[in-house]
Amino acid sequence: MLDGDPYAIIENEFVKPGKGQAFNRVKVRNLKSGRVLEKTFRSGENVEAADVVDVELQYLYNDGEFWHFMDAGTFEQYQADAAAMGEATKWVKDQDMCNVTLWNGQPIAVEAPNFVVLEITETDPGLKGDTSGGGGKPATLETGAVVRVPLFIQTGEKIKVDTRSGEYVSRAKDE
């Protein structure tokens, strides 16, 4: 906890002259804003631990303001605001399992699954004869996100997307 916000430690470098004061140079990420900060502490200094846990939650629905999640084991429900959702709003749909960071029991960060399968709601008809893409074209997905897809992909098809890069991976096989 720093200045009232929870942080995750990314790097922690111990520096100490043989006969002198020891320091820890720490790189931390603000779990709410995602901003990375560098800070130097005197070694042995105490910082309040943040009550932060990562849990797997199932996405249920969006009520216009909040995104609702449920713990499939305890059936406990959580609601995340747009700030906590971040990029995940572009990718999640009902039933998806997401990694959610809870701070004092409240979602502060939501990670979409690495790969999601989504249906294309709108894309220009492709040119005949094109098999593997090349240039590609924009396609709007059922969640509203827009990704570039190969020319042969058509409206109504389901595709697999890598949510970390926001890129098309493949046609989804029927599951």
Partner 1 sequence: MDWRPGASLDTLRARAGLLQRLRAFFARAGVLEVETPLACRAGGTDPALEPLVTRYTGPGFASGTPLYLQSSPEFAMKRLLAAGAGPIYQLGRAFRDGERGRRHNPEFTLLEWYRPGFHAAALMSEVAELVRCALEAPALAAEEISYAELFRRHLGLDVFTASVSDLRAAALAHDAGVADLELERDAWLDLLMTTHIEPRLGRGAMSFVTDYPAGQAALARLNARDPRTAARFELFLDGVELANGFEELTDAREQAGRFRRDNRTRAARGQPELPVDERFLAALAAGLPPCAGVALGVDRLLMRKLGIDDLDRVMAFSLERA
How far apart are alpha carbons 87 and 113 in whole angstroms? 12
Cβ-based neighbours of 170, under 8 Å, separated by 6 or more: 159, 160
- By beta-carbon proximity to partner 1, the closer residue of 16 and 35 is 16
Q: Does 17 bind partner 1 (CB under 8 A)?
A: yes
Assess 14 for contact with partner 1 (CB under 8 A).
Answer: yes
CB neighbours of 140 closer than 8 A, spacing ≥ 6?
A: 120, 121, 122, 123, 146
CB nearer to partner 1: pick between 13 and 76:
13
Bridge partner residues of 148 (DSSP): 138
Is residue 128 at the binding interface for partner 1, with CB under 8 A as the rule?
Answer: no
Among 10, 33, 38, 165, binds partner 1 (CB under 8 A): 38
| Identity of the residue, 14 or 61, whose beta carbon is nearer to partner 1 in the bound complex | 14
Count of positions on this chain that bind partner 1 (CB under 8 A): 21
| Contact pick of 5, 8, 30, 37 for partner 1 (by CB under 8 A) | 37
Considering only CA atoms, which of 174, 169, 167, 172 is closest in space to residue 145?
167
Q: How far is the CB of 47 from partner 1 (least distance, A)?
A: 11
CA distance 143 to 120: 9
Binding to partner 1 by residue 11, rule CB under 8 A?
A: no
Neighbours of 69 (CB within 10 A): 26
Residue 39 interacts with partner 1 (CB under 8 A): yes or no: yes
Sign, Cα dihedral of 46, 47, 50, 54: negative
Candidates 12-20, 51-59, 65-73, 108-116; binding stretch for partner 1 (CB under 8 A): 12-20
Residues of the shown chain interacting with partner 1 in the complex, contacts defined by CB under 8 A: 13-23, 25-26, 37-44
